[in-house]
């Protein structure tokens, strides 16, 4: 189960991502423990975690937010493939950055990407999910961390 | 592979260097290409994983490589070893989200010359490239 300090790692990683990559800070809502698997948005980048901890970290965002994020990154390709690329890259960056605190034995996978409202997110049985709400330029997204 | 031919004179007489970008994200590859401020650094190839990088490296003989670490098929650490074995003089800048010191140390021990964490600003990227090319 995620400890408070560990949750802070992901909150800070998310904040840092938007400040640097999107050049505009995001506002992070109060993280909460989800009783049921959280709903996801249009695109979801999933990182499987193994090693010292096991589980998943995923970033889920609506197409509208990703479009604006791409524009801020000076991208002009807003295709389905590019949206998939972006959510994967966001999830990968936040998860990889978490190794600063979790250490090298926090092994992250290459991203897998799911699209649609009800994709199957692989989760460890019994693992509960912490939801970190993200608000950026009037758009909402989530980072979800589910670790043993 | 002839390392002496690596530095090519550009049209204005300045030495130019060949760059290869390796990252499994198209967005990241385009970002690095766009952000590069060095006229003498000419993009000759890109790759989405270590296997592709090896093939592209043999074809294009770059002087400078930016290398992601978390990639499918062959990761960046393994790829670095193989590239350095092929061309010891190659300059490799790792650009990765993996922010633990042990990974940075391992990459340098395998032959990388610099390490830049994602996310990064254009300024940070160009400073890292400048350090690499000194």
Contacts of A39 (CB under 8 A, 6+ apart): A117
Query: What confidence score (pLDDT) does residue A118 get?
Result: 66
Query: What confidence score (pLDDT) does residue A38 get?
Result: 87
Reply yes or no on whether the pLDDT at A148 is more than 90: no
Residue A59 has, within 13 A of its CA and on its CB side, a CA count of 27
CATH no. of B3-133: 3.40.50.2300
CATH code at A102? 3.40.1550.10
B18: β partners: B42
> What φ, ψ does residue A56 adopt, rounded to 5°?
-140, 150
Reply yes or no on whether the pLDDT at B16 is more than 50: yes
CB < 8 Å to B28, chain A: 89
Pick B119's closest partner by Cβ from A21, A98, A100: A21
Query: What confidence score (pLDDT) does residue B11 get?
Result: 53
Question: Does the beta carbon of B97 lie under 8 angstroms from any beta carbon of chain A?
Answer: yes
Mean pLDDT score, B68-90 = 97
The pTM of the whole model exceeds 0.90: yes
Mean pLDDT score, B72-81 = 97
Q: What is the percent of chain A where pLDDT is above 70?
A: 93
Mean pLDDT score, A104-113 = 96
Query: In terms of CA atoms, which chain B residue is nearest residue A93?
Result: B97
CB pairs under 8 A between A and B: 64
Picking from A46, A33, A86, the residue whose alpha carbon sits closest to that of residue A62 is A86
Cα of A82 to nearest chain B Cα, Å: 7
Reply yes or no on whether the pLDDT at B10 is more than 60: no
Helix (H) or strand (E) holding A10: helix A4-20
CB < 8 Å to B123, chain A: none
How sure is the predictor about B113, in pLDDT bands with cuts at 50, 70 and 90? Answer: very high
Query: In terms of CA atoms, which chain A residue is nearest residue B124?
Result: A20
Q: What helix, strand, coil percent values describe chain A, rounded to 5?
A: 35, 30, 35
Q: How many domains does one find in chain A? A: 1
Query: What confidence score (pLDDT) does residue B5 get?
Result: 40
How sure is the predictor about B7, in pLDDT bands with cuts at 50, 70 and 90? Answer: very low
Q: Do B65 and B22 touch, CB atoms closer than 8 A?
A: yes
């Amino acid at each position: 189960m995620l400890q408070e300090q560990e949750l802070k790692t992901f909150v800070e990683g998310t904040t840092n991502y938007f400040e640097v990559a999107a050049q505009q800070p995001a506002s992070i809502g109060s993280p909460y423990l989800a009783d049921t698997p959280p709903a996801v948005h249009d695109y979801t980048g999933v990182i499987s975690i193994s090693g010292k901890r096991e589980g998943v970290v995923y970033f889920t965002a609506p197409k509208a937010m990703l479009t604006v994020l791409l524009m801020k990154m000076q991208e002009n390709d807003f295709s389905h493939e590019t949206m998939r690329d972006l959510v994967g890259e966001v999830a990968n960056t936040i998860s990889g950055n978490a190794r600063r605190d979790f250490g090298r034995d926090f092994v992250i996978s290459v991203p897998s990407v799911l699209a649609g409202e009800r994709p199957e997110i692989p989760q460890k049985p019994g693992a509960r999910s912490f939801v970190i709400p993200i608000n950026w330029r009037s758009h909402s997204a989530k980072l979800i961390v589910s670790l043993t | 592979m002839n390392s002496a031919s690596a530095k090519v004179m550009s049209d204005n007489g300045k030495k130019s260097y060949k760059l290869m970008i390796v990252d499994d994200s198209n967005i990241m590859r385009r970002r690095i290409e766009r952000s590069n401020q060095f006229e003498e650094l000419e993009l000759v190839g890109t790759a989405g994983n270590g296997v592709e990088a090896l093939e592209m490296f043999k074809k294009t003989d770059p002087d400078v490589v930016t290398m992601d670490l978390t990639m499918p098929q062959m990761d960046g650490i393994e790829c670095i070893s193989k590239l350095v074995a092929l061309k010891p003089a190659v300059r490799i800048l790792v650009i990765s989200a993996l922010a633990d010191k042990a990974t940075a140390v391992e990459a340098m021990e395998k032959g990388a010359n610099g390490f830049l964490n994602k996310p990064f600003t254009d300024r940070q990227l160009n400073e890292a490239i400048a350090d690499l090319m000194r």
